């Protein structure tokens, strides 16, 4: 057996593996397809980066977000890895052509599932030997996952076209049902499953009941003042995220900004980097913010609006305390808050009227969505008020060779099934909010886990509150703020901090 600890130290600067990492790597080196569920912040990327050097073959990583791909690629480059390619929509036609001509030179290739559907991409990838096929955020492939992406559905077919390479599916939050669905959709048979506990022992879980929007706003301000470390506040509304940012600024919180999917990509990347480097201490964000944000010292996560599922909640609070120091997650809840996630769920899938309209239009015109031009798709979206997610749903799920009118009943049934499943997840999360029991035990129960040890700084039900957090852990309250005269000084500090972190 190759000396993995030797590579771990020399290539990545770590003395020991985190829980689950070594088991995943050993499974892959034994040639077994592997599904790994490791908590947010547990170092999932090492599970494919280290095998890349041991296998000495190209690793293909499918990732759902540009920011996530870019961050992981940048980290590899900072560690001295030059043969990294990120295939995304920002590349010019010439850059893409050059990249495809040199595919065999790259050790790591990052791309989105949408890129895999473009003409010629699969053919180009077939020309090289892929040692490992990685699906990051693999719960996106499951129709029962909380963040289902229709574009992920083709990945099983992509695997087959690429000659069924050794496969690693990575996720932080997946119930047993979702894990089974991932294995089935990817067609990886008796995959080895490495499932770590979802419990993040260093995150205290608090729920505070509010009675109005104004009370939430004032409490969020109070908490930001109380916890002067770095924090993320999650919203389900872009407008409210911007409004609360303005409210904070009016009340003396300077190092705050908002982040959501409606902003320009370059602006989002800048804000993300400012937060990572410490120039911004607080981000008011929608769920678009978080994946790929490599910041270990986030001390608190506040939910201004409730998430729609336990999985989403766990993903988001998992952005706190990646340095394993004590941190806190606070959910501000008002009766009736479930109305917003219910509304957002309704927008994710087409209505019966939209299904009938789109199928009728395509049936009459003889068009198939996969062959529609961009202007034709835009015309269809306007005619039937389709958002981008709904249009992708039709593109991925309509059978190309079948008359669209014959698919109406099946698509309606599918959407109803999905909506019922989503509503059930929301209902279970509401039950957790209202339950008269330990919140941590409730989280573990959701994932069919039992609590191993009693946590002294557990949750509000077990006697903790925000003030006790401040009194008990000064490192939650005090973060050292650095100022730099040049960007070179800032980069030197980031690299020094990274180097010191690796030595621990």
Question: What pLDDT is attached to residue 400?
Answer: 65
291 close to 65: Cβ distance less than 8 angstroms: yes
Q: Cα 457 to chain center, whole Å?
A: 27
DSSP 3-state assignment of 84? strand
337 close to 429: Cβ distance less than 8 angstroms: no
Question: What pLDDT is attached to residue 443?
Answer: 95
- Which pLDDT tens digit goes with each residue over 140-182? 898 777 777 777 888 999 999 999 999 999 998 889 999 999 9
User: Phi and psi for 433 in degrees, rounded to 5?
Assistant: -60, -40
In degrees, rounded to 5, the angle at the alpha carbon of residue 129 between the alpha carbons of residues 127 and 132 is: 130
Tokens linked to 187: 């067609």
In degrees, rounded to 5, the angle at the alpha carbon of residue 45 between the alpha carbons of residues 15 and 13 is: 25
Question: Whole-model pTM?
Answer: 0.84
Beta bridge partners of residue 84, listed in sequence order: 108
Question: What pLDDT is attached to residue 473?
Answer: 65
DSSP 8-state class, residue 204: E
What is the dihedral sign for C-alpha 60, 65, 66, 69? Answer: negative
DSSP 8-state class, residue 18: P
Residues in Cβ contact with 299 at an 8 Å cutoff, skipping those fewer than 6 apart: 227, 229, 230, 231, 320, 321, 325, 327, 328, 475, 476, 479
CA distances in angstroms from 32 to 26, 115, 168, 172, 492, listed in the order given = 9, 27, 9, 20, 41
Q: Which residues of the chain have pLDDT under 50?
A: 1, 476-492, 494-495, 497-504
**Minimal CA–CA distance to 300: which of 132, 179, 469, 145?**
469
Domains of the chain are: 4-195 (3.40.50.300), 203-337+435-503 (3.40.50.300), 342-410+417-425 (no CATH)
142 close to 94: Cβ distance less than 8 angstroms: no
Question: What pLDDT is attached to residue 2?
Answer: 57
Question: What pLDDT is attached to residue 459?
Answer: 96
CA distances in angstroms from 335 to 201, 339, 434, listed in the order given = 28, 10, 10
- How would you class 362 by CB atoms within 10 Å of its CB: exposed for 0-12, middle for 13-18, buried for 19 or more? buried
440 close to 203: Cβ distance less than 8 angstroms: no
4 close to 50: Cβ distance less than 8 angstroms: yes
Q: Are strands 167-171 and 327-333 parallel, antiparallel or unpaired?
A: unpaired
Tokens linked to 112: 């989105």
């Amino acid at each position: 057996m190759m000396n993995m600890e030797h590579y771990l130290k020399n290539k990545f600067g770590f003395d020991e593996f985190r829980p689950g990492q070594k088991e995943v790597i050993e499974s892959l080196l034994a040639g077994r397809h592997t599904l790994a569920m490791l908590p947010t912040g547990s170092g999932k990327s090492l599970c494919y980066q280290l095998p890349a050097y041991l296998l000495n073959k190209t690793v293909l990583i499918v990732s759902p977000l540009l920011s996530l791909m870019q961050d992981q690629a940048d980290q590899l480059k900072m560690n001295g890895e030059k043969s990294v390619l990120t295939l995304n929509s920002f590349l010019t036609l010439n850059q893409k052509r050059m990249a495809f001509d040199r595919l065999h030179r790259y050790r790591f290739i990052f791309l989105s599932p949408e890129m895999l559907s473009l003409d010629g991409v699969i053919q180009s990838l077939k020309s090289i030997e892929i040692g490992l096929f990685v699906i990051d955020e693999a719960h996106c492939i499951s129709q029962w996952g909380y963040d289902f992406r229709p574009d992920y559905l083709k990945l099983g077919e992509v695997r087959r076209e690429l000659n069924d390479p050794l496969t690693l599916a990575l996720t932080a939050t997946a119930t047993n049902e979702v894990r089974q669905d991932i294995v089935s959709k990817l067609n990886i048979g008796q995959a080895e499953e490495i499932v770590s506990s979802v419990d993040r022992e260093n995150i205290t879980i608090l729920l505070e009941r509010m009675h109005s929007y104004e009370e939430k706003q004032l409490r969020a301000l109070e908490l930001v003042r109380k916890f002067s470390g770095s924090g993320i506040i999650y919203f389900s509304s872009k407008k409210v995220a911007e409004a609360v940012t303005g409210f904070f600024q009016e009340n003396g919180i300077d190092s705050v900004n908002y982040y959501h999917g409606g902003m320009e990509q370059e602006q989002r990347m800048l804000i993300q980097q400012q937060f990572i480097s410490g120039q911004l201490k607080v981000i008011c964000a929608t769920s678009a913010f978080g994946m790929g944000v490599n910041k270990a010292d986030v001390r608190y996560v506040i939910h201004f609006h409730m998430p729609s599922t336990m999985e989403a909640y766990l993903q988001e609070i998992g952005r706190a305390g990646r340095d394993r120091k004590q941190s806190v997650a606070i959910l501000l809840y008002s009766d009736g808050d479930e109305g917003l996630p219910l509304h957002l769920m309704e927008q994710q899938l087409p209505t019966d009227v939209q299904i009938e309209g789109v199928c009728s239009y395509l049936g009459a015109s003889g068009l198939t969505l996969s062959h529609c031009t961009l202007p034709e798709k835009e015309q269809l979206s306007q005619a039937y008020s389709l958002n981008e997610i709904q249009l992708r749903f039709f593109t991925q799920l309509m059978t190309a060779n079948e008359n669209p009118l014959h698919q109406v009943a099946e698509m309606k049934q599918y959407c109803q099934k999905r909506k019922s499943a989503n509503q059930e997840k929301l209902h279970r999360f509401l039950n957790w909010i209202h339950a008269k029991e330990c919140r941590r035990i409730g989280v573990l129960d959701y994932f069919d886990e039992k609590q191993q040890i009693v946590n002294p700084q557990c949750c509000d039900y077990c006697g903790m509150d925000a003030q006790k957090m401040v009194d008990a852990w000064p490192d939650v309250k005090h973060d050292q703020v650095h100022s730099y005269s040049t960007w070179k000084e800032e980069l030197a500090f980031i690299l020094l901090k990274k180097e010191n972190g690796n030595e621990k």
